[in-house]
């Protein structure tokens, strides 16, 4: 069940690319009439096309698009491919929407002026062969069995001073959200609630019934960062020595409960906890001094971390506590992290040292 997987590059705050086949939005048979309608409307309007996004990003983008549509009588259409089309909004509203999307690290795939670019939008609407929407199954029933296909990713955790001279600090294990989404199929894959629920269930399964293959790697010693399900009552026994339980960022909402959980996990044999999910998007919403004391913090790499404000926020954290995750092969993450005094990195882009 556990197999290695190349990790997708995360956008800001962890919005990754969509799991390709899973979308269930209305099929855009009616795209052309809609486009025709928008073109027949008042001039000086715009259309935006958003690419397929993962469930959470899609939810956020849909909110912004619908808001723009409501403000000036436009429409939002979701195609069978998971794209979203905003039609018939004023140019200013389109600008504002693009700005708001950019704040989330999202960008439209196309932007058309209406009616000047009528030909281009017509070409798009007719050009792509529209796939039929996948059949909509009874949603709740399929969630549980589909979890059989969870994909566990195992990353080497590196320690070092440079891309060349690096040693290994341990391992990080994570469940692939995009693979899980793909295995759930439509419509669950496009529903962040269901995806969260499936992630929690998969994490439960991973912790309670781990696949022994997971730990069968040469040089398995070192610390292992393993995901813990949210809010489980009794701490499970640690899967192996030197296990660190990694909690989702939502656990920060209840500092006292978190402290208690940490205490109980330690008593049950875990080495400590760590908190994951710190990101360029989340950092502005946290007061660094109030983060739980002395535990590791997993910081998710994205190019937005290199922004001045985000970098300043990271500087207020003790670099010795930070592990930069999602590091790519390109080395941007490493050089940024090393520049800030970080020494531990994880990601599919990093190879285990020989």
Partner 1 sequence: MNAPIHAPMNALGPAGIPGLPLAADAATLSALVREAVASGLPRRVLHIRLAPHLLRAHHHRLLREALEPVLRPTRAKLFALPGGDLIALAPGETHHFDSVAAHLRTLLAGMDSAWDAPPPITLLRLPEQAVALLATLEASLHPDEEDPVPPGAAALPDAVVDQPTLARLERSLATAGLGAFLRCRPVLRMAPGARGGAGRVREWQEWRIATAALAAALLGPGERGRDLGAGRPPGGGTHAHGLHAAGLPTGGARRRLPLARPLRTLLDRRLLAELARPEEAQARGPMGLSLGLSAIAAAEFHRFDQSLGPEGRARVVIGIDAEEILADPNGFLAARAVLSGRGYRLAVNLADPEALALLPRAALGVELARLRALPGVLGAAGRPLPEGWPPDAIVMTGVDRASAVGWGWEAGITLFEGRLFRN
Which residues lie near partner 1 (CB under 8 A)?
Answer: 12-13, 15, 56-57, 59-64, 66-67, 70, 100, 103-105, 138-141, 143-144, 191-194, 196-197, 199-201, 229-234, 248-250, 252-257, 260-261, 264, 277, 279, 281-282, 284-287, 289-291
Whose Cβ is closer to partner 1: residue 154's or residue 261's?
261
Whose Cβ is closer to partner 1: residue 201's or residue 329's?
201
Whose Cβ is closer to partner 1: residue 140's or residue 339's?
140
Helix (H) or strand (E) holding 62, with range, is helix 55-71
Position of tokens 């994490």?
A: 203
Give the list of residues 6+ apart from residue 46 with CB closer than 8 angstroms, or none. Answer: 89, 90, 91, 93, 94, 111, 112, 113, 114
Distance between CA atoms of residues 50 and 31, nearest Å: 15
* Least spacing, CB of residue 287 vs partner 1, in Å: 5
* Least spacing, CB of residue 47 vs partner 1, in Å: 20
Whose Cβ is closer to partner 1: residue 13's or residue 82's?
13
* Least spacing, CB of residue 348 vs partner 1, in Å: 22
Residue 217 DSSP code: S
* Least spacing, CB of residue 285 vs partner 1, in Å: 6
Whose Cβ is closer to partner 1: residue 46's or residue 310's?
310
**Phi/psi of residue 87, each to 5°?**
-120, 145
* Least spacing, CB of residue 212 vs partner 1, in Å: 26
Q: Are 27 and 80 in contact (CB under 8 A)?
A: yes
Helix (H) or strand (E) holding 334, with range, is helix 332-339
Task: Count CA atoms closer than 13 A to 237's CA, side-chain side.
Answer: 5
In 36-119, at which residue ranges do the beta strands (DSSP E only) sit?
45-50, 75-78, 84-90, 110-114
- Report in angstroms the alpha-carbon separations of 200 from 147, 190, 248, 319: 11, 16, 10, 29
* Least spacing, CB of residue 331 vs partner 1, in Å: 26
Whose Cβ is closer to partner 1: residue 57's or residue 169's?
57
* Least spacing, CB of residue 201 vs partner 1, in Å: 7
For 194-213, letters b (16+ CB in 10 Å) and e give bbbbbbbbbbbbbbeebeee
Position of tokens 């950092």?
A: 283
Whose Cβ is closer to partner 1: residue 43's or residue 138's?
138
């Amino acid at each position: 069940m556990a197999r290695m997987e190349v990790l997708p590059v995360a956008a800001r705050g962890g919005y990754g690319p969509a799991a390709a086949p899973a979308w269930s939005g209305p099929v855009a048979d009616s795209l052309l009439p809609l486009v025709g309608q928008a073109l027949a409307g008042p001039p000086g309007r715009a259309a935006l096309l958003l690419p397929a996004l993962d469930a959470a990003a899609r939810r956020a983008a849909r909110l912004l698009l619908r808001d723009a549509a409501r403000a000036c009588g436009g429409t939002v259409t979701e195609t069978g491919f998971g794209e979203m089309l905003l039609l018939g909004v004023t140019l200013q509203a389109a600008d504002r929407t693009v700005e708001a999307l950019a704040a989330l690290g999202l960008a439209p795939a196309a932007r058309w002026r209406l009616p000047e670019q009528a030909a281009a939008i017509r070409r798009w609407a007719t050009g792509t062969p529209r796939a039929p929407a996948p059949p909509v199954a009874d949603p709740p029933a399929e969630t549980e069995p589909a979890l059989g296909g969870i994909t566990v990713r195992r990353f080497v955790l590196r320690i070092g001073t440079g891309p060349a001279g690096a040693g290994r600090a341990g391992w990080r294990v994570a469940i692939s959200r995009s693979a899980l989404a793909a295995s759930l199929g439509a419509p669950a894959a496009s529903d962040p609630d269901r995806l969260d629920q499936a992630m929690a269930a998969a994490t439960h399964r991973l912790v309670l019934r781990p696949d022994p293959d997971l730990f069968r790697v040469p040089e398995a010693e070192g610390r292992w960062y393993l995901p813990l399900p949210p809010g489980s009552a009794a701490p499970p026994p640690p899967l192996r020595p030197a296990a660190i339980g990694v909690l989702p960022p939502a656990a920060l909402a209840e500092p006292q409960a978190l402290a208690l959980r940490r205490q109980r996990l330690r008593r049950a044999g875990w080495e400590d906890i760590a908190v994951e999910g710190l990101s360029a998007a989340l950092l502005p919403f946290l007061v660094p001094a109030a983060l739980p004391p002395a535990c590791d913090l997993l910081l998710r790499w994205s190019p937005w971390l290199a922004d001045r404000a985000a970098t300043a926020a990271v500087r207020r954290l003790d670099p010795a506590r930070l592990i930069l995750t999602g590091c790519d092969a390109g080395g941007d993450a490493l050089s940024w992290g090393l520049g800030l005094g970080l020494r531990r990195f994880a990601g599919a882009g990093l190879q285990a040292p020989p």
